[in-house]
Amino acid sequence: MRVRPRGDTDRRQILGEGVTRRGVKRARKETILEVIDRPSDDALKLETVNGYSSVGIPGRSRRGCGSSRGNNIHGGAGMPDRPITYRGVVYPWQCDHVGHMNVMWYVGKFDEATWQLFAMFGLTPSFLREQGRGMAAVQQNITYKRELRPGDVVSIRSGVLEIREKVIRFLHEMCNDETGEIAATAEMTAVHLDTVLRKSCPFPGQVFERARALIFTR
């Protein structure tokens, strides 16, 4: 007598006799959709069942993030889009009793994106340490547009709005990568510092030019 493997027995009891291996895979993935309680439109079902993402597929709108608006670049950079300065996920412990990501974590993620942006135009950790330089935030305005919940994957795109001799103003845009919606934006102003004298000082010429190349118009 043939002994049926326990896993096979469980599968048939749950899903019914005669279910194919592909059918099991499909059923399991569709069950995940029900568990996470997300809208299961046709596009999302296809992505979940077939194991691919529609993000970045030509012709599929991202409904907000990385759109063509704000891509009028000055300074000769010719960037097709603002650079990505952060990628991450919303963890359950970053959420409050209301069930969405608490404001303190928006600030943290925007801060990480800030240092990535600074490094892009030459304010790297080694430069700051070796030259006795630093950056100080003097103003930060955050706009919350959409809730973020546990498991949401996010990215941040950043660009320079203005740079002067000692001061830089820049913008971060946080995107829900699944929905394509902008979750929050942060406009910040920072000052270049001499960390020994504890006073503001001019940006080095090369840093200034590289930052100016990242300027965009909203």
pLDDT in tens, 131-178: 999 999 999 999 999 999 999 999 999 999 999 999 999 999 999 999
Pair 106, 21 in one domain: no
Pair 133, 42 in one domain: no
The count of structural domains within the chain is 2
Are 142 and 122 a contacting pair, CB within 8 Å?
Answer: no
Say how far apart CA 46 and CA 96 lie, in whole Å.
Answer: 32
Q: Return the pLDDT at 68.
A: 38
State how far Cα 98 lies from the chain centre: 22
If pLDDT is split at 50, 70 and 90, which confidence band does 47 have? Answer: very low
Domain that holds residue 17: 6-50
Mean pLDDT of 15-28: 45
Whether residue 182 is contained in a domain is answered as yes
Q: Phi, psi at residue 174, to the nearest 5°?
A: -95, 130
Pair 124, 188 in one domain: yes
Whether residue 88 is contained in a domain is answered as yes
Say how far apart CA 167 and CA 131 lie, in whole Å.
Answer: 18
What global pTM score does this model have?
0.65
